[in-house]
Structure 1
Amino acid sequence: MKRKIIILCYLLVSLYLSAQQLSTDNKLIDEAFKLAVETLYKNSPDSLIKAGGKYGGEWTRDASINSWNAAALLIPEKDAYSLWSVTTHNHTMIGHQYWDQILWVIAAYDYYEKNNDLAFLRKAYIASSNTMLKLEKMVWDPFYGLFTGPSVFNDGISGYEEPIYSDTIKGGDNVLLYPESNRIKCLSTNCVYYEAYIVLSKMAVALGDNLKHIFYLDKATKLKQNIRKYFYDKKQERLYYLIDGYGKIHQFQECLGNAFAILFGIVNLKEARSIVRNVYIGKYGIPSIYPSFKRFSDQKPGRHNVMLWPFAGAFWADACHHVGSKDLFWKELYAQAEMAVKLNDHCFYELYDMNTGKQDGGWQNGVHYLSVNDQTWSATGFLRMIMNDVVGMNFTVNGLCLNPDVALLNKLGFHRLMGIRYQKSRLDIEVKNCGNKIKRMVVNGVVHGLHNPIKPREGKLHIVLYLGH
């Protein structure tokens, strides 16, 4: 019996994989999309979505980012289980490393919008508001009006320069072993707190809690002002990485910090375009933090320093697309496809060398780390770029709004995106004719308003976009 169940599960997964396909004239992008879908399913053989080939599912940030990127849409049951698995106190608090717990709030609301699950939202609001209150008491710096703690995902000390790093501390790579890490204020982390306040206000509206809606919006406004005050250099048109415990600004370029500040509207569109123009991009994409810290070199690059982390690059590509920098978006998309399919044995790895595009775990405290194979958020980041930016899929509780990038559709020679799950529907999005704008949209044979949401329904949703001039 057990063998029959295993075979059945394998057949179901194979069916989903064969159904979910991208068809364009660019075979590299098609193959990378297929590989990304395979990686997501490969890393979710049971109820839990694992972080990667040699990792489990215990990280709140991995569960949250994978959910936000693609899993909430494609495998919502497993995604919900994974999100709740990183909560504590009977699902009333968010768990794991404190500084990026709050990413969960953003992912939870995104899950609600994609799946229209009000029961999920009610529970998520309790966990989100409880955790925010705890963190406000625990890590709020009233002098700066910012949250303290390390930067998003950078739990290794290789992501920090002196005085956060100190060679007098021996025997550990975890940033929390270094006392100065508790006093720093980081761009990416504070951007996430800002967006979490915005999302909490939206949760409050959805649940009829109007007083809390205003309460959280007020907190968001004040935090945004302080992020701009301390991290944004208007004269240089740049965003800086962190403020250490002595008040010194570390003027490094942080990939995620820049991306989140743009995507969350902390900088306006004009400012964002200037920031994007001034950002350093390597041969194969944007490094996590740039330039190199003084203890690292080209021969021994820092793991959380100048290496390429594809999931972070996907958020950066998303930000570039947001401001209309389609050339930089394409550079990141194509480089990630090339690194996964051509340069690294048909695999989405955890991180890469920015100069060679080869998988490399980088250096930390004198140790050369592995880059883990089949990294889930590397794969879901690629799916995010295709679904969110190229195809322009935007989900609300009212339905799917499509705003495809016609220039990118034409550049790819886009034909069809098939088999994408959306609640009880299977989306099949097809492009016909040539042109520089969408003239008409037809859903299941009926003409549909270009700006009207497409509501999910049981069975197939065949969407045809007709291009023209």
Structure 2
Amino acid sequence: MNHFYIFLAFITMLFTCSPASNVDEPLVKTTQYAIYKDKVVQGKDTAFVKSGQHIVSNYISPASQTYSNFIKYKFSINEKDNELPVGEDHWVVIEPDMKEAPTVKFGEKPEAPSNIEPKMLPPNYTFTFRVDVSDVLNAFKSKGFFETLDGSRIAESDFKGFYIAGNAEPLSWDFVNLDNKKMKLQPTSNPNIYEITLVLNPYDDKVRDIKEWKQSLALEQAPKFSSDIPLVDAMFNMSMEEAFKTIEPDSTLRTGTKWAGVWTRDVSFSTFLAFAYLYPENAKISLLKKVKRGRIIQDTGSGGAWPISSDRTIWCIAAWEIYKVTGDADWLNTIYPIIKNTLEDDDKTLRNEETNLYCGESSFLDWREQTYPKWMDNKDIFASYNLGTNAIHYQARRILTEIAKIKGDSFEKYETEAESIKKGMNHHFRLPETSFYIQYLYGRNDMIPSQRFEALGNALSILFDVADPEFAEDVIDNAPTTAYGTSCIFPQIPDIPPYHNNAVWPFVQAFWNLAAAKTENDAALTHGIASIYRPAALFLSNYENMVASTGDFKGTEINSDRMLWSIAGNLAMIYRVFLGMSFEIDGLHFDPFVPHAFQGEKTLTNFKYRNAVLDITVKGHGKKITSFLLDGKTMSNAVISHDLVGHHTVEILLQADATSYSHLNAFEN
């Protein structure tokens, strides 16, 4: 695997540029793009920062120019993946002037494609798909139900329709939203044949070459940020505006422009990154929407929900963060039994006493073939042990330990459980031949390690202190980094379309950046911040994901702008990295890390912390605090007490520390 040539560009940039001196010099320069104080340039595409409230971008997705004529698809009953086994799809190569695919029979095993040489399909290509559903309809008539390949029965009275899913826009593998995407087939003159006509490679030639974001909301009660880097100011203002727009009429936090409602993991990761300290009441309401019978609701995953997917305990981390921010005793009383009930259920169902690990699907990586071998079914995924999921289970038990101490209850059991998980993680996920934690253990008769790198799990293991400081540095130092960011997994899985595979997710990048800041790796953090700012500026919104190989927002299986956790990740770069905020029981701690490329003065005003309002200024770069002033007085610790009242100023002076280092393990994707 060849090292990617941006590494030398980064080293040159980090040690030869004077990033604060000239707007014509790039802050960050790679072979793919460059970030300046007032613009982002990627080939012929540029996002110009006119001011902190105005960005103009001429970016147009190149996806329509690379749209393949090799289409994979399968049919569905009632928006379920229930026609063919995982990894088996119908397919068609659309030749010139071809207007329809051959009619296939529902459930019939397709021939495997061979010697396919895909070509580009022209934009706005009208094409028809047909399916013979006679077996399904005959079963309804004779038995009153149809039995799918996994043995599930669909009663005739429950039948909603036939749908199509696939790998090329407007087709999607997002089965649960096929009806919303208008992927329902219609009957033809032959009652056994259903069809749908779609416009493949959709492209709107009326899309303007120049698009812009202008701040439209005053947000007078919100904190205000300013620096000597207009791009950073614009990223803050755009993300703060998008954060406010996520608040629904019922006071919950919307998941994204295209995704209504509250999702456990989305709102929980978002709450930790930003919403606990920006909109704690909305975060509370949203979290409580994901509680039933005094227990946390698990998001859907490969197997439907808990216990195959078992990362619902990320809720505990979000709920605890709100308490540390607000000090709200009533909130603590509310979340204590919910966390305790949930963890007790998990102990009975998920815990393996031999490994000291908890089974279940990868946290957030919940789309089976995107990160698991095709032969693995839901039972196999349930029986596996994932790095990120166990990091969350570990931290949840540490939190329950702390809450029990506050309440004066017995805590030793939870403390012991947490230490057991940590021991199990370091024994099973940390191998001599790898310089980072492995992805998961999997198998049937014997568990074997998947030595693929998983970004979120490694980041959480560093942030939650599963990794000792020396190994944490090794992880950041040696983890593979691609041109457009730290991909969810590495290496990518061949022949699997981008989503979790071959993708960069800004919220994952944000957690990776927090881990890089903790280990004081300037190069990794610089590249990580650039990997969040580049797409947000060019795309004029905080999209959920992008293709790792192209950096484009089009081409992944599902995507949306104004995504809650992407917004939170962008804002965390200001609050948690540049300003270094960390909320603890005793107060607001500061541990900023400003990379060399982003050096300069940064000021946040009107930040509300409990009963205090803070105006905070950070000067310089690096991680070493040389002075910490509260209202002009030197303080011995960089901490604001939880009982501080009134309006105050905080000034932090940084100096590059000789112990900080810069290394980026850049790879070809």
TM-score w.r.t. the length of structure 2 is 0.61
For 1:17-166, list aligned pairs within 5 A: 19-46=222-249, 47-89=251-293, 92-97=294-299, 98=306, 99-163=310-374, 165=376
Distance 1:434 1:321 in 2: 12
User: Aligned in 2, Cα 1:27/1:208: closer, same or farther, shift over 3 Å?
Assistant: same
SS of structure 1 residue aligned to 2:225:
strand
| Residues 393 and 404 in structure 1, CA contact (< 8 A), matched pair in contact too | yes
Q: How does 1:384-403 map to 2 (within 5 A)?
A: 384-403=572-591
C-alpha distance in structure 2 between counterparts of 1:141 and 1:25, whole Å: 53
Structure 1 unaligned regions, length at least 5: 1-12, 167-177, 363-368
| Matches of 2:351 and 2:534, distance apart in 1 | 42
The match for 2:651 is 464
Q: Give me the whole-angstrom Cα distance separating, in 1, the residues matched to 2:311 and 2:655.
A: 45
Could you tell me which residue of structure 2 aligns to residue 9 of structure 1? none
Q: Distance in 2 between matches of 1:436 and 1:221?
A: 30
3-state DSSP of counterpart to 2:607: strand
1:142-189 CA deviation, whole Å, 9 max, x = no partner?
3432111111112212432325557xxxxxxxxxxx342222111100
Q: CA contact under 8 A between 1:73 and 1:423: conserved in structure 2?
A: no
Q: Give the superposition deviation at 1:245.
A: 3.4
CA distance 1:435–1:183, shift in 2 (3 Å): closer
Q: After the TM superposition, which of the residue ranges 140-149 and 219-228 deviates more from structure 2?
A: 140-149
Checking the alignment, whether the CA contact within 8 Å between 1:252 and 1:290 is kept in structure 2 is yes
Q: Quick check: 1:341 aligned with 2:540?
A: no
The percentage of aligned residue pairs carrying the same residue is 26
| Corresponding residue number in structure 2 for 1:418 | 605
Q: Does 2:383 match 1:383?
A: no
Q: Which residue of 2 aligns with 1:10?
A: none
| Paired residue type of 1:25 | D
Residue 309 of structure 1 deviates from its aligned partner by 0.8
The answer to whether the aligner puts 1:197 opposite 2:397 as a matched pair is: yes
Cα distance, 1:225 vs. partner?
A: 1.2
Instruction: Tell me which protein shows more helix as a share of its residues.
Output: 1
2:414 is the counterpart of 1:232: no
- C-alpha distance in 2 between matches for 1:41 and 1:256: 26
- Partner-residue secondary structure (3-state), 1:112: helix
504, 510, 528: which one aligns with 1:332? 528
Q: 1:315 to 1:434 in 2, by over 3 A?
A: closer
Q: Deviations over 1:182-237 (max 9, x none)?
A: 2211110011101111111111111111x22x211111111111111111113432
Using the TM superposition, give the Cα deviation of residue 347 of structure 1 relative to its aligned residue in structure 2, in angstroms.
0.5
Superposition map of 1:194-273 within 5 A: 194-209=394-409, 211-212=410-411, 214-246=412-444, 247-273=447-473
* Cα shift at 1:30: 1.6
- Kindly provide the amino acid, as one letter, of the partner of residue 223 in structure 2: Q
The answer to which of 282-291 and 134-143 deviates more is: 134-143
RMSD (Å), alpha carbons? 2.4
Determine which structure has greater relative contact order: mean sequence separation of CA pairs < 8 Å that are 6+ residues apart, divided by chain length.
1
SS at match of 1:293: coil
2:553 pairs, out of 350, 359, 374, with: 359
1:391-430 deviations in Å (ceiling 9; x for gaps): 111222322122223x538833123112333234333212
How many residues get paired? Answer: 429
Q: Deviations over 1:111-137 (max 9, x none)?
A: 111000111112211100100001111
In 1, the alpha carbon distance for the partners of 2:606 and 2:480 equals 37
**Any gaps of 5 or more consecutive residues in structure 2?**
1-215, 300-305, 657-669
Give the distance between the partners of 1:466 and 1:272, measured in 2 at CA: 26
Could you tell which deviates more after superposition, 38-47 or 308-317? 38-47
Give per-residue Cα distances to partners, 1:224-257, cap 9 Å, x unaligned. 1111111111343231111113212211110111
Output the CA distance in 1 between the equivalents of 2:357 and 2:626.
47
- The C-alpha deviation readout for 1:433-469, integer Å capped at 9, x for no partner, is 8999645444345554443434455553332335689
Higher strand share: 2
